[in-house]
Structure 1
Amino acid sequence: MDEKRPTPPSSTVKIRRTTSSNSGGGSGPIILGKYQLGHLLGRGSFAKVYHARRLDDGTNVAIKVMDKNTTVDATMERLIIREVSAMHRLNSHPNIIKLNEVMATKSKIYLVMELAPGGDLFSKLNRRGRFSYSTARYYFHQLVSALLFCHQKGVAHRDLKPQNLLVDGEGRLKVSDFGFSALHDEQLSNSLLQTACGTPAYAAPEIIYRREYEGSKADAFSCGVILFVFLTGKLPFDDSSYTRLHLAKHRREYQFPDWVQKPARSVINRLLDPNPSTRLSIEELTEMSWFKRSATKGEESNNQQQLFGQGILEKECEKSGRLMNAFDIISMSHGLDLSGLFGGRSKKKKLRFTTSVHVGSVEEKVMKIGKEEGYRVERTKGGGIGLVQGRVVLLVEIWEMAAKLWLVEIKVVDGGQEFDETQWKVMEVGLKDIVSSWYNDDGS
């Protein structure tokens, strides 16, 4: 049977992983006297991941290496801080990849993480076509257990997909890649978010079409897509047009193959509800009879009684007797500025927001503000708007994200030292009546 298999869309920072064994973690250079790098596990636009060995006890780990001189800018800095902060909150769960420590030199940043030698579930799906019911339920139970813990700790993942679900040496699932996660204080874990992010085929429709959304409900929608992929080997929504893709989600335009059983269809249908207020939550999912059925994968048990019946005991890190590193510092302060790791924080360079106002009206508004502030208004060859005043040059670009939704970016392309926060504030005040939501640096 010729089935369309899921393809990995591009995203801000993604590492293509390859399956590795537990050997070979230490034949290259030594990092800060603690770890010896081994073979390359994967690479992306902004980082490389290596198999490595801890020198004092021989433990095999994975190390993500980022070059501060060539790849780390303000956007990357935000993603790294968010990923580290999220992983610290979640380090005690058995189905979430562990971050051991963060180290830095003048030129490099190193994230030392738990090694998952089994590769990712996307690769397994590509090899097998689809999972059996027992295998699908085995992995799905562990994914839901991890998400329950995430949401209780005030973390919404926001980029769930098989590429981000790894497998350890014992065949246990490990959720990874928290670069797009949103963090809140635990008592505010249900706070509404505004940023459009994630991978289109797996993202909930309200992330694009609604002004505010609940992170945990968005994760639940992604779980529905993942379960569909597990059982069928293809995506429920798959279109090269961003607009048609999200219209299909609103209209629930997907079809089950004949072999998908009714109980599983019911779970998926309720998770893929385009209305987040009536969508099945992760907590409600755990009470459904289909989910409660024992889940095993071959001869391996996922120990559901331990994960759900007894709960998860958190273990505090013992920090006495060793020097504090960057990871320890982050653990002491929520939202701490890590500018020291990155050689100093640069001044604000851009302003982004979404709007439902017609693009022509947006352009008129921007040009009016520019003229009022003494800028010369010019049209660029690419169709954008240039605002010029002395040495300061601003570029305004507008992209259509979906039907009646545009993303507007205003960025400094020259004279940044002369364009300060006061001038950004003038822009924000002048534009506030057409803004649907600001694209904040903290990802909210």
Structure 2
Amino acid sequence: MMDKGALFGKYEVGRLLGCGAFAKVYYARNIKNGQGVAIKVINKKKIVGTNLMSNIKREISILGRLRHPNIVRLYEVLACKTKIYFVMEFAKGGELFAKVAKGRFSEELSRKYFQQLISAVGYCHSRGVYHRDLKPENLLVDENGNLKVTDFGLSAVNDQIRPDDGLLHTLCGTPAYVAPEILTKKGYDGAKIDVWSCGIILYVLTAGYLPFNDPNLMAMYKKIYKGEFKCPKWMSSDLKRFLGRLLDTNPKTRITIDEIIRDPWFKKGGLFKEKGPEFEFSFYHDCYCEGMDDKFYFVKPDHDEEDEASSSSSSLNAFDLIAFSSGLDLSGLFNGSLNPIVDGEKFISASPADKIIESITEAANSADVKVCKRKEFIVDLEGPNGNFVARVEINQLTDDLVVVEVKKKGGDSDHYNNIWKKKLKPKLADLVYDSELHPAGEIGAPENSSDQVSVE
């Protein structure tokens, strides 16, 4: 059940769209602009101690860097003490799986969806992202009949590739869609296994059933490993040939994305019809830049010191709130490492910015540290003889909360530890916001938020 009211004062939550073991997805409406969205609600208590924590971190990280018309967009992430809310693009048409379950598609319609799928997958690969769980259940359709790739919880990025062999090694995916090289457990190329899964999807769309299927899992794996499948008689010869290249059991000779977009079967109609010869190059490289919202990203772009000093609060959002929210530590997403000297320290405060600066100034004066105010919410701290230089930057997170970030700007690490950690930081303890002391309805969270969207 769900109480009436607005989630975080921003969304009116409506009907249940789907549910799983750890999350439920609801339809909601943005109160400000009336836009329909899907909100995935994750119960933090149920995922603590499971490998799903890393999946959630990965999905947030990956979706934060992707902007493509055929990838479901993550608008923002909200959080309270017990739950995480993914506010996502709503695909009114539902799962592609539900549509193909009613009967196979024509080659023309299958080609349209496949072109959009390859556009999205190629875009991901160009940014070092490999989905690793492509299947019709993870493909949605919007109100205009356009495909949307979703569910990046099992995705991988270039950082996960082993330097010794240049391959990924984590075993994942859905049995009927996994590539044969995954079964060998010797490592695999993320781009190659995505292409294989795309081949399975194309076969399902045009045949109406799986190419490799058996009630016995091991028997099915043997068919996949050997590449034993037959195309139905209604498929065209060009499609049969194309599927043979997609479902090549040898990853070294399997067709690549660049080769796919030049294949005769693939190029018929659809996306190439109106774009002309230059579209082959731009097919998945930066094919969607208009309307990008930079403030969404939780990783700030590189900038010089002056840009850093004038950065605004718009560069922070609820990703930071999740990082500090009890029960699920996502701080690794924001700091890149856990070295407070190199990457700085952050804490959330419910105190006004001027009160925070006043407290920092008092603490600094008692430690013989000079305070230099550079901008309205940025101060530099300098110790005797320049052996300690740090910057304190205050950014508005919500109407009631701010993020205070402290970074070492000069001097040596010993003096930084001695002055900041031992003399200044302890005197600022009262400024730190403690979510355990504030019920969900008080600061930065909706009233009765633990019950507003129930995850059982």
Q: Shorter chain as normaliser: what TM range?
A: 0.5 to 0.7
Residue 185 of structure 1, CA deviation = 5.3
- The equivalent residue for 2:324 is 340
- Structure 2 vs 1, CA of residues 248 and 72 (structure 1 numbering), >3 Å: closer, same or farther? same
Matched, 1:177 2:151: yes
Provide the secondary structure at the position in 2 that maps to 1:112: strand
Deviation string, structure 1 residues 91-132 (Cα, Å, up to 9, x no partner): x210000000111000110000000000111100112x1000
What residue identity is the alignment partner of 2:316? Answer: M
Residue 84 of structure 1, CA deviation = 1.0
Provide the secondary structure at the position in 2 that maps to 1:166: strand
Match 1:108 to one of 75, 83, 87 = 83
More helix, by proportion: 2
What residue identity is the alignment partner of 1:343? Answer: G
- Structure 2 vs 1, CA of residues 113 and 243 (structure 1 numbering), >3 Å: closer, same or farther? same
- Structure 2 vs 1, CA of residues 222 and 119 (structure 1 numbering), >3 Å: closer, same or farther? same
Cα distance in 2 for partners of 1:75, 1:302 equals 44
Cα distance in 2 for partners of 1:78, 1:267 equals 36
Matched, 1:74 2:50: yes
Match 2:5 to one of 15, 29, 42 = 29
Provide the secondary structure at the position in 1 that maps to 2:37: strand
What residue identity is the alignment partner of 1:150? Answer: C
Provide the secondary structure at the position in 2 that maps to 1:201: helix
Q: Which runs of 5+ in 1 are unaligned?
A: 1-25, 331-337, 347-444
Matched, 1:252 2:227: yes
What residue identity is the alignment partner of 1:326? Answer: A
Provide the secondary structure at the position in 2 that maps to 1:66: strand
- Contact 1:141–1:295 at 8 Å: present in 2 too? yes
- Structure 2 vs 1, CA of residues 45 and 303 (structure 1 numbering), >3 Å: closer, same or farther? farther
Cα distance in 1 for partners of 2:294, 2:179 equals 39
- The equivalent residue for 1:144 is 118
Give the % identical residues.
Answer: 44
Deviation string, structure 1 residues 263-314 (Cα, Å, up to 9, x no partner): 0011111111111111111221111111111128xxxx99666975655143
Q: Superposed, which structure 2 residues align to 1:380-391 within 5 Å?
A: none
Cα distance in 1 for partners of 2:161, 2:46 equals 39
Q: Superposed, which structure 2 residues align to 1:244-323 within 5 Å?
A: 244-295=219-270, 308=280, 310-311=282-283, 312-315=287-290, 316-319=292-295, 320=312, 322=314
Cα distance in 1 for partners of 2:229, 2:76 equals 43
- The equivalent residue for 1:60 is 36
Cα distance in 2 for partners of 1:340, 1:180 equals 24
Residue 344 of structure 1, CA deviation = 5.0
What residue identity is the alignment partner of 1:77? Answer: M
- Structure 2 vs 1, CA of residues 68 and 211 (structure 1 numbering), >3 Å: closer, same or farther? same
- Structure 2 vs 1, CA of residues 303 and 154 (structure 1 numbering), >3 Å: closer, same or farther? farther
- Contact 1:101–1:113 at 8 Å: present in 2 too? yes
- The equivalent residue for 1:395 is none
Range that drifts further, 311-320 or 71-80: 311-320
Range that drifts further, 301-310 or 75-84: 301-310
TM-score between the two structures when normalised by the length of structure 2: 0.63
What residue identity is the alignment partner of 1:254? Answer: F
Matched, 1:324 2:316: yes
What residue identity is the alignment partner of 2:147? Answer: L
Q: Superposed, which structure 2 residues align to 1:420-435 within 5 Å?
A: none
- The equivalent residue for 1:390 is none
Residue 217 of structure 1, CA deviation = 0.1
- The equivalent residue for 1:380 is none
Provide the secondary structure at the position in 1 that maps to 2:176: coil
Residue 262 of structure 1, CA deviation = 0.8
- The equivalent residue for 2:104 is 130
Deviation string, structure 1 residues 208-255 (Cα, Å, up to 9, x no partner): 213110000000110111111011000000123232212101222111
Residue 33 of structure 1, CA deviation = 1.3
Q: Superposed, which structure 2 residues align to 1:92-103 within 5 Å?
A: 92-103=67-78
- Contact 1:154–1:188 at 8 Å: present in 2 too? no
Q: Superposed, which structure 2 residues align to 1:204-283 within 5 Å?
A: 204-283=179-258
- The equivalent residue for 2:142 is 168
Provide the secondary structure at the position in 2 that maps to 1:74: coil
Q: Superposed, which structure 2 residues align to 1:356-395 within 5 Å?
A: none
- The equivalent residue for 1:428 is none
- Structure 2 vs 1, CA of residues 238 and 309 (structure 1 numbering), >3 Å: closer, same or farther? same
Cα distance in 1 for partners of 2:136, 2:69 equals 18
Cα distance in 2 for partners of 1:289, 1:283 equals 13
Provide the secondary structure at the position in 2 that maps to 1:224: helix
- Structure 2 vs 1, CA of residues 66 and 29 (structure 1 numbering), >3 Å: closer, same or farther? farther
- Contact 2:44–2:328 at 8 Å: present in 1 too? no
Between 1 and 2, higher relative CO (CA 8 Å, sep ≥ 6) is seen in 2
Q: Which has the larger radius of gyration?
A: 2
Residue 172 of structure 1, CA deviation = 0.6
Cα distance in 2 for partners of 1:307, 1:86 equals 25
CA RMSD of aligned residues (A): 2.8
